[in-house]
Amino acid sequence: MPRVLLKNFGVSLDGFSAGPDQSLENPLGTTGPDIFEWFFPTRTFLSMHGGGGAGETGIDDEIANQGMTGFGAWILGRNMFGPVRGPWPDESWKGWWGEEPPYHVPTFVLTHHARASIPMQGGTEFHFVTGGIHEALERARAAAGDLDVRIGGGVSTVRQFLQARLIDEVHLAVRPLILGRGENLFAGLDLRALGYEVTRHVAGERAMHVFIERRQG
């Protein structure tokens, strides 16, 4: 049965998955890129940005690649799509990634403000969902067919899906650093009470990869 997965989601030792003061210039927050230093050097990441065969291989790259392939649909929070807040002022903003985003499948963006769908190069089509996480998941599952659905973030979106017990498996790339401020993934969440448990962990070159699954029932 197709699953709902969270993959390649970076987190600091003190639980932050985004830094403070997010903006157009700092979409991950001023210190947020530190969380993703395990991902940026990999061949998987560089190939997404025109790097050809460049980049590191190894455990981090292998796990990163597994987290980017085989999905039938993605779900993103609005912050993951762009820095625009409130009603859409116009149709000019089409995401952080240029004309060919890295998703290549239908991608559903959570928002409070309706907007027409945007077809992009490479198979990505952004659909804007105003009815919340359950509507987004229903539409993503319908679009994905027999394939899994990936939750792409950001932190607020992931927290909502975890609180509702809608994610089947979580992969956290735990970075050995302390961020201090930002968006905390775990604040107010009791994952144990929600039925989640660690099932395995793998040491990579720059991160500890921790896999968490939701118990059935």
Q: pLDDT over 70 for what percent of the chain? A: 99
- Beta strand spans in 80-166 (E): 106-110, 118-119, 125-129, 148-153
As a whole number of angstroms, the distance between CA 149 and CA 142 comes to 10
**Strand 183-184 with 16-18, pairing:** antiparallel
Give the β-pairing of 71-76 and 118-119: unpaired
Contacts of 107 (CB under 8 A, 6+ apart): 73, 74, 75, 76, 101, 124, 125, 126, 127, 152
Structural contact between residues 202 and 64, judged by C-beta atoms closer than 8 angstroms? no
Tell me the CA distances in angstroms from 193 to 9, 106, 170, 214, 215, one per residue in order.
21, 33, 16, 11, 11
Question: pLDDT tens-digit profile of 32-52?
Answer: 899 999 999 999 999 887 767
pLDDT at 211 over 90: yes
pLDDT of residue 96: 86
Give the pairing type, strands 196-203 and 208-214: antiparallel
- DSSP states of 160-183: HHHHTT--SEEEEEEES----SSE
Looking at the predicted structure, is the pLDDT value of residue 217 above 70?
no
pTM for this structure?
0.94
For residues 64 and 36, is the Cβ–Cβ distance under 8 A? no
At 50-63, the pLDDT tens digits run 767 789 999 999 99
Its CATH architecture, for the domain 4-16+29-77+148-214, is 3-Layer(aba) Sandwich (3.40)
Residue 91 pLDDT: 87
Q: Render pLDDT for 51-108 as a digit per residue (tens, 0 to 9).
A: 677 899 999 999 999 999 999 999 999 989 988 889 998 989 998 888 999 999 999 9
